[in-house]
Structure 1
Amino acid sequence: MLRLTEIKLPLDHPPEALRAAILQRLGVRDDALLAVRIFKRAYDARKKHALLLVYTVDVEVANEAALLKKFRNDAHVRPSPDMDYRFVGHAPDSLDERPLVVGFGPCGIFAALVLAQMGFKPIVLERGKAVRERTQDTWGLWRKKVVNPESNVQFGEGGAGTFSDGKLYSQIKDPRHLGRKVLTEFVKAGAPEEILYVSKPHIGTFRLVSMVEAMRHEIEQLGGEIRFEQRVTDVLIEDGRVAGVVLASGETLKSRHVVLALGHSARDTFEMLHARGVHLEAKPFSIGFRIEHPQSLIDRARLGPNAGNPLLGAADYKLVHHAKNGRTVYSFCMCPGGTVVAATSEPGRVVTNGMSQYSRNERNANAGIVVGITPADFPGDDPLAGIRLQRELEARAFVLGGGDYQAPGQLVGDFLAGKPSTELGSVEPSYKPGVHLTDLATALPPFAIEAIREALPAFDKQIQGFAMKDAVLTGVETRTSSPVRITRGDDFQSLNVKGLYPAGEGAGYAGGILSAGVDGIKVAEAVARDVLGLEAAQSGGRAGPGCDY
């Protein structure tokens, strides 16, 4: 097949216009175009009154070789890449040890799924509950102000990504097209097929719930096992290699291959790993607030007269400002037509995050407006110093919010003027259990407040109305990414504990659903290679059936 890029058509083009544009691009007759598949559809909104759809398509044509020769100097006509996923190997029948996967968020799901598809029958240990029970516990905070430390927005089946916008795009380098494997598995589990070709695919919380369940059932049907409410409290290390884990129940599970697919909020697990001497390091992350505007304002600013077009949906944005004090302020996890949610996993703390449903039809747009920080800003120089800073800011937000899990909030106009807010304006905040108006000046370190105050008017120059006085800030956003990295080598194993595979966002190697899923696949492959290598050594050199190396 051939891949054609940069095919541009008007927003309101008829269906047959795409085929006509392909025929014109290639200069062939209609009967020579045998098949068309849309690989990607994006839009170019630089001219709001003449917005264009931009297609990348894979086509099957007669005389492909002749066309490739004809277009050999055209970068927009090339052979379609091979994006089929191929397993690195399959478990031999003689294998009697099962790998363990700790955590069942996006990374853990894909690590377990690919291991199961290769026949390794993994055991998954998830500290939280199954996704529907977990949803009830999460609503307990939102509706009743009750925190369950083991079952919440951060912990439980599906991970933190379940209560998010469900974004499925990433800027990671992906030469093997593993992201396509992630998207394909999501479609198989019930996601709409459009996620395979729209430029910024998303799913939303309600759809993610049923998809996560479907993927769990596939893992189980393939011989894997998922154990909920199983918190790992210790790792067993013998002669520099992992030997198993200990659960809160006291049970010990033996295995020489343990995938640590922790979320970025598994603070007690980080502390345990540090105490056991597993190599960790502090890493940069970001802190800030959530900001809410009317979605209609964002739509008009970004899409002009095309605002509200169902093909485009709710508009998003991505903003960056380099402040005079040397800090970078940027928008994070923008949720069109979404809500701000309570995301703490610990009592006595307040954390915000954003979430959208697939429809993205709520009245407000929200995003994190966050400031990058480095270990030099942390209170201490040990690997856990970032966790201490997060806890300090979250506890302060709890007090500023009134001590009952309301989020401290402030109108943008008052924040810029340096005065407390006393009443809401035209923007009604969506955060549950509620917003307590106050002065956010003490919610973050002074350098962060200074940088955000400078950034908001700058953002207003890019999106008219962004600094509107009635827009609402709620605090605090502290869990943008993991504050630690569980350092690993090129073989995906811990630097100092063989058989221990740090993976995903919590380990510092991903930053969203798609990248976490891709990392889960890579780690599953690394486990398979190591297991098959050990098996080969024990069986006189045979690497097991199906191995491709």
Structure 2
Amino acid sequence: MLRLTEIKLPLDHAEAELRAAACARLGVAESELLACRVFRRSVDARKKSAIALIYALDVEVANEAALLQRHRGDRTVMPTPDTSYRFVAQAPSSLATRPVVIGTGPCGLFAGLLLAQMGFRPIILERGKAVRERTQDTWGLWRKSTLNPESNVQFGEGGAGTFSDGKLYSQIKDPLHHGRKVLEEFVKAGAPEEILYINKPHIGTFRLVGMVEKMRATITALGGEVRFGSRVEEIEIERDAQGQGQVRGVILAGGERIATDHVVLAVGHSARDTFQMLHDRGVYIEAKPFSIGVRIEHPQSLIDRARWGKFAGHPLLGAADYKLVHHCANGRSAYSFCMCPGGTVVAATSEPGRVVTNGMSQYSRNERNANSGIVVGITPEEDYPGPPLAGIEFQRHWESRAFEAGGGSYAAPAQRVGDFLAGRPSVAPGEVEPSYQPGVHWTDLALCLPPFVVTALREALPAFDRQIHGFAMADAVMTGVETRTSSPIRIKRGEDFQSLNTRGLYPAGEGAGYAGGILSAGVDGIKVAEAVALDMVRK
């Protein structure tokens, strides 16, 4: 097959125009085009008066070699690359121990799935509940202000990504097509096939729930084991006189010991007690940068008009998103994070007495508001110097301040943008109704944000308004605080994906500091599973 790229067509083109464009690019008759399918579709919205679709097509034609010769030097005509995934190993007929995966977020799920597909029968441990039970506990916080510290937005089957926009795009380099493997497995589990070709695919929470269950069923059918309510209390590590360690097993909160020489640590960015345990056991950990800020809400119609102009509401375009960044005079950078078109702001704490916000969308993205994190980058050297876990205490401090500013009941502190820019507290909503549940408390967000963040946001919001007219509208709603943008630590690993000073421990995904989002976390899970498999085959 041949891949044709940079094929541009009007937004409302007819289906037949795709084939005609392919024929025109190749200089062949319609009858010579044997097959044509879309590999990628993106939107060119640089001219709002003439929004277009950009395609990459995979086509089958007779005499492909001759056509390639004719188009030699044309970078838009090339052989279709082989993007199929190939397993790196198969398990031997007998295993001394089984690999253990801790966590069932995207990283843990894909690590477990790949190990199961290669025959290694992994044991997957999850401190929280199965996804449907977990969903009920999450609604308990949103509707009744009742927090279950072991089953919430952060902990439970599917990980934090289950309650998100379900974005499936990333900027990672992927020469071995691990990302394609992630998308194909999602489609097998029930995701719409369009995620394989649209430029910015997403799934949404309700669809993710069913997909996670199907992936679990696949793992167990292949001999894997998934256990819920199984919090790992300790990882057994033997250390020599030089401080180098070897994993020998895990001990669960109930006292059960599971012997293993291979542990995939895919606990997510909020497993603070696990990070403390690892630090206490001598695993090498270092602090890393992350960001802190708020969630901001606008009418989705405002964002649609700003991005799509007269084409706002077009079914092929859907709800518009945005990506913004501003470099501030105080040396900080403020930027949009995890933008959720047509979504809601959700309560995302995992610890009592603290308030954390995040964003979530369904597949339809048809809620009235758009929301995004507007956050400011911070660094350990400048903002939380000290031991490796100092960033966790930094997060906890501002999450506790947000709980107090919200009235001490898991309501979130909120402020209208006009009031925030003017430096006065808000007392009531305006045109934009906040979506956060279990509710908001109108106040001054300066009470629960570092002063340098407040300064940066007050400069950034008018700058963003120059890019998206209305972004700094007085009635837009800001809800605090957004602290879980990424892990505050990195558990460093070597080229073999094992901890620098603890063999058999494979730090993975967002919690270990090696991913940011569903797709990159899934890809990292695959890479780590490959490393585990190769190590087990060698032994």
- Alignment TM-score, normalising by the size of structure 1: 0.97
Q: Indicate the SS of the match to 2:296.
A: strand
For residues 36 and 114 of structure 2, the distance between their equivalents in structure 1, rounded to whole angstroms, comes to 30
Task: Please tell me whether the aligned partners of residues 190 and 211 of structure 1 are also in contact (alpha carbons under 8 angstroms).
Answer: yes
Among 444, 447, 464, the alignment partner of 2:449 is 444
For residues 238 and 413 of structure 1, the distance between their equivalents in structure 2, rounded to whole angstroms, comes to 58
Tell me the equivalent position of 1:538: none
- Mapped pair 1:428 → 2:416: no
State the AA in 2 paired with 1:430.
S
Q: Which runs of 5+ in 1 are unaligned?
A: 535-549
CA RMSD, Structure 1 to Structure 2 (Å):
0.7
Tell me the equivalent position of 1:540: none
Q: Indicate the SS of the match to 2:502.
A: coil
Tell me the equivalent position of 2:291: 286
For residues 504 and 392 of structure 1, the distance between their equivalents in structure 2, rounded to whole angstroms, comes to 25
Tell me the equivalent position of 2:3: 3
- Mapped pair 1:385 → 2:394: no
Tell me the equivalent position of 2:507: 502
Q: Deviations over 1:93-123 (max 9, x none)?
A: 1223110000000000000000000000000
C-alpha displacement at 1:377, in angstroms?
3.4
- Mapped pair 1:266 → 2:267: no
Q: Deviations over 1:293-319 (max 9, x none)?
A: 000000000000000001110000000
Tell me the equivalent position of 2:58: 58
State the AA in 2 paired with 1:362.
E
For residues 397 and 53 of structure 1, the distance between their equivalents in structure 2, rounded to whole angstroms, comes to 43
For residues 182 and 68 of structure 1, the distance between their equivalents in structure 2, rounded to whole angstroms, comes to 31
Q: Deviations over 1:475-497 (max 9, x none)?
A: 00000000000100000000000
State the AA in 2 paired with 1:66.
A
Among 314, 335, 338, the alignment partner of 1:333 is 338
For residues 114 and 441 of structure 1, the distance between their equivalents in structure 2, rounded to whole angstroms, comes to 46
Q: Indicate the SS of the match to 1:157.
A: coil
Task: Please tell me whether the aligned partners of residues 292 and 471 of structure 1 are also in contact (alpha carbons under 8 angstroms).
Answer: yes
Tell me the equivalent position of 1:120: 120
Task: Please tell me whether the aligned partners of residues 378 and 385 of structure 1 are also in contact (alpha carbons under 8 angstroms).
Answer: no
For residues 392 and 232 of structure 1, the distance between their equivalents in structure 2, rounded to whole angstroms, comes to 26
Q: Percent identity?
A: 75
Tell me the equivalent position of 1:68: 68
Superposed, 1:228-267 pairs within 5 Å as 228-239=228-239, 240-267=245-272
For residues 172 and 19 of structure 1, the distance between their equivalents in structure 2, rounded to whole angstroms, comes to 32
Tell me the equivalent position of 1:172: 172
- Alignment TM-score, normalising by the size of structure 2: 0.98
C-alpha displacement at 1:176, in angstroms?
0.9
- Mapped pair 1:306 → 2:286: no
For residues 258 and 37 of structure 2, the distance between their equivalents in structure 1, rounded to whole angstroms, comes to 47
Aligned residues: 534
For residues 96 and 223 of structure 2, the distance between their equivalents in structure 1, rounded to whole angstroms, comes to 13
C-alpha displacement at 1:376, in angstroms?
1.8
Tell me the equivalent position of 2:85: 85
State the AA in 1 paired with 2:391.
G
C-alpha displacement at 1:441, in angstroms?
1.3
Q: Indicate the SS of the match to 2:503.
A: coil
C-alpha displacement at 1:76, in angstroms?
1.1
Tell me the equivalent position of 1:37: 37
Tell me the equivalent position of 2:14: 14
Q: Deviations over 1:275-294 (max 9, x none)?
A: 00001000000000000000
Q: Deviations over 1:422-473 (max 9, x none)?
A: 1110000000000100011121111111111000000000000000000000
Q: Which runs of 5+ in 2 are unaligned?
A: 240-244
Task: Please tell me whether the aligned partners of residues 410 and 421 of structure 1 are also in contact (alpha carbons under 8 angstroms).
Answer: yes
For residues 245 and 378 of structure 1, the distance between their equivalents in structure 2, rounded to whole angstroms, comes to 34
State the AA in 1 paired with 2:328.
A
For residues 95 and 273 of structure 1, the distance between their equivalents in structure 2, rounded to whole angstroms, comes to 27
For residues 22 and 187 of structure 1, the distance between their equivalents in structure 2, rounded to whole angstroms, comes to 27
Q: Deviations over 1:216-275 (max 9, x none)?
A: 000000000000000001111124210111110001111000000111000000000000
Tell me the equivalent position of 1:544: none
For residues 96 and 496 of structure 2, the distance between their equivalents in structure 1, rounded to whole angstroms, comes to 23
C-alpha displacement at 1:33, in angstroms?
1.4
Tell me the equivalent position of 2:362: 357
Among 529, 532, 538, the alignment partner of 2:537 is 532
Superposed, 1:478-497 pairs within 5 Å as 478-497=483-502
Tell me the equivalent position of 1:219: 219
Tell me the equivalent position of 2:458: 453
C-alpha displacement at 1:67, in angstroms?
1.4
State the AA in 2 paired with 1:370.
V
Among 402, 416, 419, the alignment partner of 1:414 is 419
C-alpha displacement at 1:49, in angstroms?
1.1
For residues 436 and 115 of structure 2, the distance between their equivalents in structure 1, rounded to whole angstroms, comes to 39
Moved over 6 A (4+): none
Superposed, 1:461-472 pairs within 5 Å as 461-472=466-477
State which drifts further: 152-161 or 240-249.
240-249
Among 388, 401, 410, the alignment partner of 1:405 is 410
Q: Indicate the SS of the match to 1:235.
A: strand
For residues 393 and 7 of structure 2, the distance between their equivalents in structure 1, rounded to whole angstroms, comes to 51
For residues 48 and 170 of structure 2, the distance between their equivalents in structure 1, rounded to whole angstroms, comes to 25
State the AA in 2 paired with 1:293.
H
C-alpha displacement at 1:401, in angstroms?
0.3
C-alpha displacement at 1:37, in angstroms?
1.7
For residues 83 and 126 of structure 1, the distance between their equivalents in structure 2, rounded to whole angstroms, comes to 32
For residues 137 and 238 of structure 2, the distance between their equivalents in structure 1, rounded to whole angstroms, comes to 38
- Mapped pair 1:159 → 2:167: no
Tell me the equivalent position of 1:543: none
Tell me the equivalent position of 2:242: none
For residues 508 and 69 of structure 1, the distance between their equivalents in structure 2, rounded to whole angstroms, comes to 46
State the AA in 2 paired with 1:119.
G
Q: Indicate the SS of the match to 1:482.
A: coil
